[in-house]
Amino acid sequence: MAPLSTYYAKETRKWRRDHPGRCVTVNQIGKLFGTAFMKAASVQTAVSGSRKTGLYPFNLNIFDNWMFAPAETTERSVVHQNTYVTLSSPTRSYSPIPNVTIPNQTISTSSLAAKPSSSS
């Protein structure tokens, strides 16, 4: 879109002239681009862009065969292989719970169920 790039360049020159010593940053790009786009967007520009890309009127031969050459590097046949994955459940080893003595009461390890530690 030549008109868009022309209008954008014009908007950035105008901004730099109005703000001497400053650089155009990401903060200004949106506003500058929006202003340029509104000037460039017209029916004539849309029709011209559609014609140049071969969209309307439809032109199947808009691209030469040599233009498709870079895409050949990604053309690969897909090979499906039978892949078997064996999943095994992780095993944890629990240390035995020692006898705990509480004043006036003794708890044996046989009455406690082994619980996984929360420090893993």
Based on its alpha-carbon atoms, the radius of gyration of the chain, rounded to whole angstroms, reads: 36
Per-residue pLDDT, 82: 62
Longest dimension (CA), the chain: 96
Indicate the pTM of the whole model. Answer: 0.43
Element (H, E) at 45: helix 43-53
35, pLDDT greater than 70 = yes
Number of residues in the chain: 120
Per-residue pLDDT of 48-103, as tens digits, reads 888 988 988 888 888 888 988 888 888 776 666 665 555 555 555 555 555 555 56
Determine the 3-state secondary structure of 107 from DSSP. Answer: strand
Task: Give me the helix-helix angle, 2-18 and 26-40, nearest 10°.
Answer: 130
Candidates 1, 3, 34, 29; CA nearest to 16 is: 29
